Chain A
């Protein structure tokens, strides 16, 4: 298995892990919060809100802006 394949598999694994957490959060009596609940939790403070939105803004700029 090449280094490239291993690197790509790592990304896929991370995405799968996030998807599993989201599925777990939807189970009844689950103690795992949903992604939306995590966002709401972070967004309680100004720093959290601004940090979240800046991370999102940077994603768009990184991929598309000069």
Chain B
């Protein structure tokens, strides 16, 4: 029994471990994604894109700060977070249904409400989808009119990007949709296959990048994807289509994230 005491005391008071304990806590809480973003920001800065580096680096720093400061204690982690559920538009109906179910005493009312809500939700989603598609088309056609790397194009793209990242930041998944049926069937090998495919493509691009005369000068013999699409993006329609594809990818990501 006496063997246990020192160990328990250590775990109960990690602050007492001094600098080493502090370093261990930072290591435990260090977010690999934040680290990747910070390293990426440094390399992006080296390639002469300070605005991009600032964007990526700021998100990396915010994520690091949030991870180190915001790691909940085991007791807090068990507490429900109704405020964050309610703040998500996708989960708004979920919250409304829950409130109604708590207030009503008959199941009939709840079922009736769910039917009406389902129809309303479908109509709302259709309208919302059409509106987003229209706004996206107008955005792509207008922004493509500005020259590539111009300030108006930069402000437009950064504004959309910042909005998407901010919206994804506080997205809180409902416990009910934490693991869908299709997700449960996926194997670790399948996920590894996707990771390897993306990793191979990224390494191929990196190899081409490193064979350039410099990080800021392209190579004809070893073109990166950026060099290959330069001629496409030089024209109006190339920019418009690329912007539209970029927006579609963003919409797809947001849809899957908020599902």
Chain A interfacial positions (CB closer than 8 Å to B): 2-4, 7-8, 10-11, 14-15, 17-18, 21, 25, 30-41, 43-44, 46-54, 56-66
Contact = CB atoms under 8 A, between A and B. Distances in A.
Classify the secondary structure of B's interface with A. helix
B55 A61 contact: yes
B169 A46 contact: yes
B157 to A, nearest CB: 5
Contacts of B183: 33, 37, 40-41
Interface residues of B, number: 75
Given A18-B197, A49-B257, A58-B40, 20 more contacts: A3-B222, A7-B204, A7-B221, A14-B200, A18-B198, A37-B182, A46-B66, A49-B171, A50-B165, A50-B168, A52-B253, A54-B37, A57-B162, A61-B157, A61-B158, A64-B148, A64-B154, A66-B51, A66-B150, A66-B153
Contacts, number: 188
Interface of B: 31-34, 36-37, 40, 44, 49, 51-52, 55-56, 59, 63, 66-67, 143, 148-151, 153-154, 157-158, 160-162, 164-165, 168-169, 171, 173, 178, 180, 182-183, 185-187, 189-191, 193-194, 197-198, 200-201, 204-205, 208, 220-223, 225-226, 228-229, 233, 239, 242-243, 246, 249-250, 252-254, 256-257, 259
